[in-house]
């Protein structure tokens, strides 16, 4: 980067109520390193999305860069900061179907630097946006959030399915196509908090979580 870390400000938008440990880890690490953080504003989501798609003309010459931590809803996360700062997107879930609107966003907001967690999409974005510095930022996990569980023979849950579901695997588990019944947990409502989900994983003999490129290949 051509500026010191203190010249950046972090604005993290936590989307959809889903567990996003990566976002939390990024935000905490940023602040532990001395970075500043702006609290996200309370404003109707759909209205922010519409306003974020309108051409942005800075109200003043941007004096600082603003890191916007978001998934594919960058228009929502960047409004109204786009009027006051130079936006630096930090994005994950940049699926192929998201590339076209992302390119429009980058050009509309005159983005000069962005970070993407998909290494495959970095090359494509560099081709589509030759004047933009596109860098790969791999996702990370805080291993301290997942302490060791019991011994395998002491765990009460046979299989836990969380995240996206693979239909044929789920059907095989729920119809008990095995020599005995399987103690299976898969309902999202069973883990209203990340802590409960982490505890279920520690108590499971097998944990299953599929990426979207397997469950929705036509999309991802």
Could you read off the pLDDT of 163-206 as tens digits, one per residue? Answer: 888 888 888 888 766 656 778 888 767 788 888 888 999 999 99
Average pLDDT score over residue span 117-124: 89
Lowest mean pLDDT among 37-51, 144-158, 189-203: 37-51
Residue 16: pLDDT over 50: no
**Average pLDDT for the chain:** 81
- What one-character DSSP code corresponds to residue 172? H
| pLDDT for res 127 | 95
Whole-angstrom distance, CA of residue 20 vs CA of residue 7? 26
Using one digit for the tens of pLDDT, what is the confidence trace for 54-113?
Answer: 766 666 666 688 888 877 678 888 888 888 888 899 888 788 888 898 999 899 888 999
Residues with Cβ within 8 Å of 219's Cβ and at least 6 positions away in sequence, in order, are: 95, 97, 212
- Burial of 164 per CB tally in 10 Å (0-12, 13-18, 19+): middle
**More confident: 23 or 34:** 34
* Predicted local confidence at residue 219, as pLDDT: 77
* C-alpha dist (Å) from residue 107 to 2, 83, 135: 21, 15, 17
- pLDDT of 54 reads 74
């Amino acid at each position: 980067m051509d500026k010191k870390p203190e010249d950046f400000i972090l604005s993290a938008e936590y989307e959809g109520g889903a567990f996003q440990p990566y976002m939390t880890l990024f935000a905490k690490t940023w602040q532990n390193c001395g970075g500043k953080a702006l609290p996200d504003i309370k404003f109707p989501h759909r209205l922010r999305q519409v306003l974020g798609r309108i051409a942005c003309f800075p109200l003043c010459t941007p004096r600082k860069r603003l890191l916007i931590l978001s998934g594919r809803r960058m228009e929502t996360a960047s409004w109204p900061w786009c009027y006051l700062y130079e936006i630096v997107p930090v994005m994950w879930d940049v699926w192929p179907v998201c590339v076209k609107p992302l390119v429009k966003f980058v050009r509309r907001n005159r983005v000069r630097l962005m970070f993407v967690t998909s290494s495959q999409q970095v090359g494509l974005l560099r081709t589509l946006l030759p004047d933009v510095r596109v860098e790969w930022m791999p996702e990370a996990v805080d291993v301290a959030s997942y302490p060791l569980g019991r011994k395998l023979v002491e765990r009460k849950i046979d299989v836990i399915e969380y995240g996206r579901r693979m239909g044929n695997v789920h059907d095989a588990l729920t119809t008990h196509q095995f020599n005995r019944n399987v103690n299976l947990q898969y309902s999202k409502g069973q883990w209203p908090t990340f802590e409960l989900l982490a505890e279920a994983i520690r108590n499971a003999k097998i944990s299953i979580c599929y990426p979207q490129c397997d469950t929705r290949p036509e999309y991802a």
